[in-house]
Amino acid sequence: MDVYVLQNPKELGKAAGAAAAQLIRDAIRRNGTANIILATGASQFETLNQLISEKDIEWNKVTMFHLDEYIGLPESHPASFRKYLKERFLAKVPPLKAAYLVNGEADPAGECARLHHILSTHKIDVALVGIGENGHLAFNDPPADFDTEAAYIIVNLDEPCRKQQLGEGWFGSLEEVPLKAISMSVKQILKAEAIICSVPDSRKAIAVKNSVEREVSNLYPASILQTHANCRFYLDHNSAALLSSQKITQ
């Protein structure tokens, strides 16, 4: 794991987005195609802004998968992650080879099976992820399932996770935040050849410290990223405030 600390969220996003773009270009050069995973939420704003501004990416050779989605939330809702990716990414780049979004309004078990079948035929080159205030990776809240082989699973959202979604302004009240979601599994995320983890903001500082400095534990789901051979954390000064200096890549 490499840990990079940038001055602010914008600089973080520039570095993370540029790194992701180069990984995509490299995959296309090697394989003729690139398979990517995109996250959503406030932590990804600047990273995606940089990624869509990058030149010389043959987007028609890129297949995109989506990390997670609330169960039962219509796409028209401001918090819909399908809506987020369509508006903030898919509408701003040339047409992709394919894009597989999680449909939270479909039968959850059937949607998990559908996506598992598709993803099983694709090797992921780069995954863009964030971590939650509770240390979750995708919507795998603690204690996370580190063992399931399923690519997508149905998860219960804990109260800290739901309060984060409320605090970020996606919902009007805690009662409006769904209790369940479809999430890519931890084991599936770790299958990506490279992982770019973008985590700005002081409210993530404790989660960052737990993820980077604690022993790997499903009580700190993103700590599993320590085991990945090519994972890069991109932080700002606020999210990195509690880290020991020796954990930071020079």
Question: To 10 degrees, what angle do helices 9-31 and 45-53 make?
Answer: 50
pLDDT score of 105: 97
Strand 126-129 and strand 194-199: the pairing is parallel
Q: What would the pLDDT profile of 155-174 be if each residue is shown by its tens digit?
A: 999 999 999 999 999 999 99
**Of 134, 158, 162, which is closest to residue 73 (Cα–Cα)?**
162
Q: What percent of the chain has pLDDT over 70?
A: 99
Name the CA radius of gyration of the chain, rounded.
Answer: 17
Helix (H, G, I), strand (E, B) or coil at 183: strand
Residues 6+ apart with CB under 8 A from 91: none
Residue type, 92: K
**Of 134, 45, 47, 112, which is closest to residue 84 (Cα–Cα)?**
45
Residues 6+ apart with CB under 8 A from 247: 3, 212, 213
- Please state the rounded mean pLDDT for residues 135-150: 97
Token digits of residue 42? 């406030």
In the chain, the number of structural domains is 1
- Please state the rounded mean pLDDT for residues 69-98: 96
Token digits of residue 23? 């990984």
Q: Has residue 27 got a pLDDT over 80?
A: yes
Report d(CA 207, CA 161) in Å as an integer.
12
Rounded to two decimals, the pTM is 0.96
- Please state the rounded mean pLDDT for residues 59-75: 97
**Of 6, 39, 43, which is closest to residue 203 (Cα–Cα)?**
43
Q: Has residue 250 got a pLDDT over 80?
A: no
Q: How many other C-beta atoms lie within 10 A of the C-beta of residue 39?
A: 26
Read off the CATH number of the domain in which 71 is found.
Answer: 3.40.50.1360
By CB atoms closer than 10 A (0-12, 13-18, 19+), residue 177 is buried
- Please state the rounded mean pLDDT for residues 187-214: 97
**pLDDT confidence bin for 17, thresholds 50/70/90:** very high
Report d(CA 72, CA 105) in Å as an integer.
5
Give phi and psi for 137, each to the nearest 5. -120, 120
- Please state the rounded mean pLDDT for residues 58-68: 97
Q: Has residue 68 got a pLDDT over 70?
A: yes
Report d(CA 14, CA 250) in Å as an integer.
18
- Residue 200: domain span: 2-247
- Please state the rounded mean pLDDT for residues 191-216: 97
Token digits of residue 199? 């985590």
pLDDT score of 245: 81
Give phi and psi for 56, each to the nearest 5. 65, 30
pLDDT score of 247: 79
Q: Has residue 119 got a pLDDT over 60?
A: yes
Strand 180-184 and strand 62-66: the pairing is unpaired
pLDDT score of 249: 85
